[in-house]
Amino acid sequence: DVMSAAGGEFLAAFFTAAYIAGATGSALTSQASVSRILYSMGRDGVLPRRFFGRLSARFRTPARATLVVSVVSLLAIVIDLGLLAEMISFGALIAFSVVNLSVIKHYYVDRKERAANRLLSNLVLLFVGFALTVWLWTNLSGSTFVVGGLWMFGGVILLAIVTRGFRQRA
């Protein structure tokens, strides 16, 4: 509507076509990268190697992993897109939180870099980043935490199986 009001039907059609092309390109890039991650996990034995850890002989791509990602992506047809967006945010916020805490542990705890000139970058800014990420979590719905928690629980179970009860490295 805004494009129609600003530049007429041509601008609205052009904007819609550009939006669809951009969304399609983004989706294909995401699917390709996720299938490569699944392939790497299969190759390393974290996921079933016989299924995920093989490349297509013809194309040298992880065809099976791509097929799985494509099928999961089709769930967007039936899943509420708001919940799906929140799930993506849930995963990203967990990753950002863990990165901040990991860097604090690496520099402040393990390497004991506690000099006054490093305190701001090794502790304060990272803790502020972690706190802001936790604050962003407060904007997610309760159902996001339920679904995200179940997804995380499944990941912990898979990790327990792969590491034989957390006795081996993944």
Rounded CA gap, 83 and 105, in Å? 33
Residues contacting residue 148 through CB under 8 Å, at least 6 positions apart: 87, 90, 91, 94
Residues contacting residue 113 through CB under 8 Å, at least 6 positions apart: 107, 122
Amino acid at 40: S
Give the predicted TM-score (pTM) of the model: 0.65
Tell me what pLDDT residue 7 has: 84
For residue 3, CA distances in Å to 9, 24, 36, 100, 167 come to 8, 21, 38, 41, 59
pLDDT tens digits along 91-148: 889 999 999 999 989 988 888 877 777 777 778 888 999 999 999 988 888 888 898 8
Task: Evaluate whether 132 touches 72 at the Cβ level (below 8 Å).
Answer: no
Tokens linked to 118: 């490093």
pLDDT tens digits along 8-66: 888 889 999 999 999 889 888 989 999 999 999 999 988 899 999 999 999 999 999 99
Widest pairwise Cα distance in the chain: 65
Residue 86 pLDDT more than 90? no
Tell me what pLDDT residue 30 has: 87
